[in-house]
Amino acid sequence: MYDHLTLLSGRAHPQLAGEIAEYLGVRLASVELSNFPDGEISLKLNQNVRGRDVFILQPTSPPVNDNLMELLILMDACRRASAERITAVIPYFGYARQDRKDSGRVPITSKLVANLINEAGADRVLAMDLHAAQIQGFFDTPVDHLYAAPILDRYFRSLNIPDKDLVVVSPDEGSIKRTLQHNNNIGGTLAIVDKRRKNALETQQANIIGGPIDGKVALLFDDMISTAGSIVGAVNVVKEQGAREIYVSASHAVFCGPAIKLLSEAPIKEIVVTNSLPIPDQDKLSNLRTISIAPLLGEAIRRIHRNESVSHLFD
């Protein structure tokens, strides 16, 4: 079935790669990865990839620079070993926040990283929940952009929360489109937290638009939880408005800086995330639930390898 498919992984998330390999019924390719004393990455492929359809799994998660460089080196090695096609499977795409020039003398890092991935040898890219959809256009190769929403929504529907008790909340104005999709799939009413940015590191949540919130079960969705300042600020506003229970969900659990402290102290019943990037043991909160995206990525890989449509996976 997969005579010409090769799946290999960097060191960013070997557990997810193993789950995808199990879903596909293939073995992960053997790769030797280590570091020279000065920190440079050393790599050797231990099997032939000539003429193969190669899929390289590597989220560019923290430490983002190390994992990004490792991805580039993996692709370069496969290209020089005469792989027929190379697909970069990037469940979490770092450097995505700076996707436009919103002031003078700033870079567009997401375009820069897309250029690096193209130059290193990627023939196509498989990503999930990019920070901004337009990043797909930064690549000069085809991009299959998957969404975790159907998986997350399926979990929340399984909780059987009565529609009359449910409110789906956007943590800020920029997440309204995403929240509307969740609202359509799950039900309930819609509310928006009015967020004002004080500076590059701080935001202030002010009011609730829509609702009502009082006495309801609130679901808050975001694409990622990084420092958790914004999402916890939104949670506190929703709690002040009288929410009975609060669930928080995100595709990417980056969890850096004060995130764990803020989340552990917030009035959140459950935090639901995917395993798009690894979560260290010290960051696994008692109310954290992780849902695997291995079947989603595995099915996409299977369809790409067979040159079949993956469009139904976008829904």
153-196 residue pLDDT tens: 999 999 999 999 999 999 988 788 889 999 999 999 999 998 66
261 and 179 housed in the same domain:
yes
The domain of 227 spans 149-284
Given a cut of 80, whether residue 204 has pLDDT beyond it is no
The mean pLDDT value of the chain amounts to: 93
245 is in an annotated binding site: no
Q: Is there a catalytic annotation at residue 239?
A: no
Q: Is 98 annotated as a binding residue?
A: yes
> Per residue in 217-270, pLDDT tens?
999 999 999 999 989 999 999 999 999 999 999 999 999 999 999 999 999 999
Collapse the DSSP code of 205 into the 3-class scheme (helix H, G, I; strand E, B; otherwise coil) and give the result.
strand
Q: What is the pLDDT of residues 125-135, one digit of tens each?
A: 999 999 988 99
Share of the chain above pLDDT 70, in %: 95
In a domain, 289, yes or no: no
Q: Please give the average per-residue pLDDT across 54-65, as a whole number.
A: 97
* 176 in a structural domain: yes
**Do 276 and 306 share a structural domain?**
no
Query: By C-alpha distance, which of 62, 81, 7, 13 is closest to 276?
Result: 13
Q: Residue 3: pLDDT band by 50, 70, 90 thresholds?
A: confident
Judged by DSSP in three states, 105 sits in coil
The Cα 146–Cα 314 span in angstroms is 5
205 is in an annotated binding site: no
pLDDT tens for each residue of 287-307 = 999 999 999 999 999 999 999
For residue 1, pLDDT beyond 70: no
Split into its structural domains, the chain has a count of 2
- Residues 218 and 248 reside in one and the same domain: yes
Q: Which of 44, 101, 177, 195 is catalytic?
A: 195
Alpha helices in the chain (DSSP H): 14-24, 64-80, 109-120, 149-158, 176-186, 229-240, 259-265, 294-305
State how far the Cα of 193 lies from the Cα of 206, in Å rounded to an integer.
Answer: 7
Sheet holding 203-210, edge to edge: 203-210, 189-197, 166-170, 217-225, 245-253, 270-274, 288-291
305 and 264 both lie in a single domain:
no
* Residue 153 in marked binding region: no
Q: Is the domain of 229 the same as that of 309?
A: no
Residue pair 223/175 in contact (Cβ under 8 Å)? The answer is yes
Consult the annotation and say whether 15 binds a ligand. no
In a domain, 270, yes or no: yes
How far apart, in whole angstroms, are the C-alpha atoms of residue 203 and residue 230?
A: 6
The answer to whether residues 226 and 308 belong to one domain is no
Tokens representing residue 192 in the block: 């928006």
Same domain, 166 and 253: yes
Do 265 and 189 lie in one domain? The reply is: yes
What CATH number does residue 194 fall under? 3.40.50.2020
CB atoms within 10 A of CB 285: 16
